[in-house]
Amino acid sequence: MRKLLLIVIAILPNILFAQNFKYESKDSLNGKPMNTISFSGYLNSIYFYDFVGYESQYPALNIVSIPVGNVLREPSTSFVAFQTRLRFKSEHQSKIGAIKLYFEGDFINSANAFRLRHALISINKWDFGQTWSNFADEDAWPNMTDYDGPPTGIWARPTMIRYNAFQSDKHSVSVSMEGPSLDYQGHTVIDTVFTTAFQDIPDFTLRYRYVTDKIRVQFGGVLRSIKYKNIIDSTFSREMAYGLSFSTGISTFGNDILHIQATAGKGISRYLVGFEGYNWDAVPTGDGGIELTPAIGGFMGYDHYWTKDKRFSSSAVFGYIKIKNNLNYTPEDFMTGYWGLVNFYWHPVPQLDIAVEYVQAFREDTYGRTGDGARAQFMVMYHF
C-alpha cells in the first residue's frame, strides 16, 4: 500500500498539469515509453422539456416508452447530469507487444452510481472485455444530444473475445464471440409448456470495414443460438437468430458528413438501442415452441458545419423501425415507429459544446393504437 501511494504521489503532478492529463514513463522499449497513462472524459448537463410527459425521465426519447391510445398529456421538465463520463487509457510495452487497456464509465442509473461502459484489454490482434459489439459501427452516430439516438442504432456493449484478423490502411476484418443474453420470456397464459433456458453458446459476429479520408463503409453480421426448454419433459430446443447491418459515413461538402445505417434480422432486438431488456428476441408460438421476432429499420443523418472553423453546426436525423411478427399472441408493445431530430451546436472553444435540440417520435403498437412524443433539449458539455 505504501509503495502504491508513493507511485501515485510521484505521477500525480505530471497527470494534473500535463496536457490532456497524460503521463509517460521515462524508461522505454522499442523506442516507445514503457508505460503511458491518460485520463479524460466530459461533464454533461442536459435540460429537457417533455411535451407528453411519459414515465421515463431518462435523457432520451425512447420510442418504446411513448404511450399509445387516449392518454392524458402531462408535460414535464427534467435536469440531469448523470451522462457525465470518465475514461482511463494506458499502454504498456512488453516482449509480446503493446498491451493496451481502456476503461470508461458514467452515472446513468437511478442512484447516480458509477456504471461500467467499457473495460477492454487489447494485445496485438486480440481484444478481451466489454466494449461495442463487433456487429456495431461506433462511428455511425450522428452529432446529437439525445442519448439513445436513432432506434435502429446498434449500440450494444457485450463482453467478448475479438480477433482483428486483418487490418491495412483502408481495409479491416474482425470476428468475435460475444456473451449471449436471455432477452425473451415465457407467457403462461399463451403457453404453459415453453420456458426460458440458460444460454450456453456465444453470439458470433463478422465485420468488414473500408475507410478512407472521404468515406467509411461497414458490413456486419451476427449469428445467434437461442435456447429454450420444455418444462414437461425437460428437453431443450434451439432457434438460430441472425442479423445483417450496413453503415456508411460520407464526407460531402466542406466538413459535412452524411450518415446511413440499415439493419435487418430475426432475434436481434438485444442489439438495437432502446430495445434491450424488453424480451423481444422471441415469443412463444402457443405449441411449446418460440418464434424469433423480425426486426428491420435504419436511419439517415446529416451533420452540417456552418463555418470552416466548426464553431457552429447542425444535424438532422430520421429513423424507422419495425419489430413485429404475424402471431396472434404477441406483446402489445411490438411496434412500427418513426423518430427524428434537428439541432444546433455552438462550440465557443474546442472543449465546450452548447446545443439546443428538438426530438419527435411516433409509434403504432400491435393492435393499431398510436402515440407520439416530443422533447426540446438544451445541453452544456465540457470535454477534458
Tell whether the model's pLDDT for residue 16 goes beyond 60.
no
Q: Answer yes or no: is 261 within a domain.
A: yes
**Which pLDDT belongs to residue 148?**
83
- Measured in whole angstroms, how far is the alpha carbon of residue 206 from the centre of its chain? 18
* Domain presence at residue 300: yes
Provide the residue type at 356 as one letter.
V
Contact criterion met (CB below 8 Å) for 377 and 44: no
What is the rounded average pLDDT of the residues 56-78? 84
| CB-based contact 319:151 (threshold 8 Å) | yes
Q: Is residue 270 classed as helix, strand or coil in its secondary structure? A: helix
The CATH number of the domain holding residue 326 is 2.40.160.10
Calpha distance 282→290 (Å, rounded): 6
Predicted pLDDT of residue 11: 44
Per-position b or e across 255-270, b if 16+ CB within 10 A of its CB: eebbbbbbbbbbbbbb
pLDDT at res. 329: 66
| 17 domain residue, yes or no | no
Residue 21 φ/ψ region, left for φ over 0, alpha for ψ in the -120 to 50 degree band, beta for the rest: left
293: which DSSP letter?
P
pLDDT for 264: 97
Domain that holds residue 228: 22-383
Distances (CA, A) of 89 to 92, 102, 302: 10, 5, 31
- When the pLDDT of each residue in the chain is averaged and rounded to a whole number, the result is 90
Letter for the amino acid at 190? I
Q: How, if at all, do strands 194-196 and 159-167 pair?
A: unpaired
In a domain, 6, yes or no: no
Quick check: is 10 in a domain? no
Q: Provide mean pLDDT across the span 266-292.
A: 90
Mean pLDDT over 253-263 rounds to: 97
Percent of the chain predicted with pLDDT > 70: 93
The letter for the amino acid at 235 is: T
- The sign of the torsion formed by the CA atoms of 7, 10, 11, 16 equals positive
Q: Which helix (H) or strand (E) holds 11?
A: helix 2-17
Cα–Cα distances (Å) from 233 to 23, 230, 284, in that order, read 61, 6, 17
Radius of gyration over every alpha carbon of the chain, rounded to an integer in angstroms: 23
Mean pLDDT confidence for 101-121: 93
* Residue 56 binned pLDDT confidence (cut-offs 50, 70, 90): low
Write down the pTM of the prediction.
Answer: 0.89
177 in Cβ contact with 200 (< 8 Å): no
The DSSP secondary structure of 57-89, one letter per residue, reads: -SSS--GGG---SS-----EEEEE-TT-EEEEE
Q: Tell me whether residue 15 is in a domain.
A: no
pLDDT over threshold 60, residue 153: yes
Q: What is the pLDDT of residues 284-320, one digit of tens each?
A: 888 888 999 999 999 999 999 999 999 999 999 999 9
Q: Is residue 148 part of a domain?
A: yes
Q: What share of the chain is helix, strand, coil (3-state, %, to 5)?
A: 5, 55, 40
The pLDDT value recorded for residue 235 is 93
Higher pLDDT, 12 or 187: 187
* Total domains in the fold of the chain: 1
Position 268 in a domain: yes
- 143 pLDDT above the threshold of 70: yes
β pairing state of 282-284 and 257-266: unpaired
The better pLDDT of the pair 78, 53 is held by 78
Question: Residue holding cell 443474453?
Answer: 181
Model confidence over 337-358: pLDDT tens digits?
Answer: 999 999 999 999 999 999 999 9
